[in-house]
Chains A and B, each alone.
Chain A
């Protein structure tokens, strides 16, 4: 019994060390002093999926006029499910990388949504630790507001 415990505990420790070393997450490096003008805006969120909210952290929402005069929206989100147990669970449930569907809808000056081929549901795979950028250009110059729908892929 003593022999068993003496070999079992170190073996488990080695296995855990090996497992933590096998993580495939994303590290990022960027310049700390940003020179770009701030185009971050206040956002309003309506959350019906708490799991998605906790897993894909929305970092920033930007809205600025593009070169052609049409507004450009960009939302940055990071997959924060890093760490050994989180990744192990994600791998077991088929969510590593994390597949997410998104769609932009633009509203004109009257608040009406505008139908456009630029508005389509798309899928993106997000690696743990990775930041993805959901981006869209307004279909007409009078579209100033947008709604971004995000959901977990089936």
Chain B
């Protein structure tokens, strides 16, 4: 009888202990970063899925914009004429320059943050730059950028190697070779919130503009609002 009691007490107790341990265990697994359907969303600020959505929407809009296509075609025609003129004048052009001169040079300018949050707009601009560059429509520069965007100091630093006696002179970067940019991508992010009882709403409006820096004229403009709603639970905060 005593043995039976020990068995009937130990087994359930052991199962209960295992169940508790399983519940206390933390697990970590990789998920698809571009999957906005399973992403955890913040109730009161930007989430990673918001950046994925705006990058996708803006990228699609840019690549299908007839006005931007018109600008690219006009740029290609002017660039071809300028290239022929430069060659006729005896200017030395690199192979790379001849291959890519028909595409405008894009610079990432400032994305104004009109929200109370700390937002790193590079989460959107870097993706858009990747989309544009991989589409073959533009080149991009890392020599110049707006506030909050990345600049690669290596281009300027390469020119300092002239003072280093260990560096082969033939391989040194020459001055006057950096290309000036033609296009800049700028924008603004605006946040709005609304609350009605337990219903909460959070929206971000992204307004993006591509500017032809030669004339100061806008060649593409895009506005997109991302809105999320959630219902506060009856208990808790």
| Chain A residues with a Cβ under 8 A of chain B | 66-70, 72, 101, 116-123, 135-141, 153-154
Contacts and interface: CB of A to CB of B under 8 A. Distances in A.
Interface of B: 32, 34-38, 52-53, 55-56, 59-60, 63-66, 68-70, 72, 127, 130-131, 134-137
Nearest to A138: B63
Given A68-B63, A119-B34, 20 more contacts: A66-B63, A68-B135, A117-B34, A117-B55, A117-B131, A118-B56, A119-B56, A120-B35, A121-B32, A121-B35, A121-B36, A122-B37, A122-B53, A122-B56, A136-B60, A138-B63, A139-B134, A140-B134, A154-B37, A154-B38
Interface of A is mostly: loop
Contacts of A121: 32, 34-38
Contact of A140 (B60, B70, B136): B136
A6 B52 CA distance: 61
7 contacts: A67-B70, A68-B68, A68-B135, A117-B127, A119-B56, A121-B36, A123-B36
Given A68-B72, A70-B64, A72-B64, A139 B53 contact: no
A118 B59 contact: yes
Contacts of B37: 101, 121-123, 153-154
B12 to A, nearest CB: 34
B52 A139 contact: no
Contacts of A137: 59-60, 63-64
Q: Which of B36, B59, B72, B135 has the most CB of A within 10 A?
A: B135
